[in-house]
Each structure stands twice: as C-alpha cells, then as structure tokens.
Amino acid sequence: MSGNGRIWRHRFEPARLVLGVALIGVACVYLVDAAGRGDVPLPVLFALLPAALLCTAGVAVAAMAARRARGRPRDEPRDEPRDLPDVSRTGAGSAGPDAR
C-alpha cells in the first residue's frame, strides 16, 4: 500500500487474458494429440494458433473501442495524484552516505 492509503493497481487487459486462455487450450490439444488420447487432424492443429491470435486481436480492438468511448486516453490512469514530491536519487533532497 502506498503512503497516502491508496492501492495502486494495474490496468485490466482483456486481450492478455484471452490470449493466455487460448494458448493454454492450444497446449492442451497438442498434449492430448501427443499422448495418443485423441485423434486431432493436422490441419486443425495448424489452425489453432492463428485462430487464437485472431480472437485476441478482436478482443483488443473491442477493448480499445470501449476505452475510447469512455473518453479517457488509453495510458492515463484514473486516480493518479498530480502533486508528487521529487524522489529521484540524484535530486537535491537525497539522503545518502555523502549527504551533509
């Protein structure tokens, strides 16, 4: 938790979630085929990865459209404070072993 009582969280990226789930599904299909538990045709195996990428691209475009419809730029956080003190390591206020 930060000093002012807020919890800083990362932005939710639905395309990353969809890609992760799709790639886990592709890996499971490959494992089933390699273990001999099922008979998956070779064209299906080759089509799974591009299908997962296309599905992810569709979700990313939809998420971007939803963000634009809300009127907030993609990289601008919602609750970022504007008046933060300078905490750089080379700033005048640094307190290191050579500070006087």
pLDDT in tens, 57-92: 999 999 999 989 988 555 666 565 556 555 666 555
Mean pLDDT, residues 38-64 = 93
CA distances from 70 to 67, 78, 81 (A): 5, 12, 20
As a whole-number percent, the residues of the chain with pLDDT over 90 amount to 45
Q: Rounded CA gap, 26 and 76, in Å?
A: 34
Model confidence at 24: pLDDT above 90: yes
Q: How confident is the model at residue 21 (pLDDT cuts 50, 70, 90)?
A: very high
Residue 19 or 40, more confident: 19
Mean pLDDT of the chain, nearest integer:
80
**Does 2 have pLDDT greater than 90?**
no
pLDDT of residue 17: 95
Q: Could you tell me the two tokens for 97?
A: 């072993």
pLDDT of residue 1: 47
Contact by Cβ (8 Å): 25, 58:
no
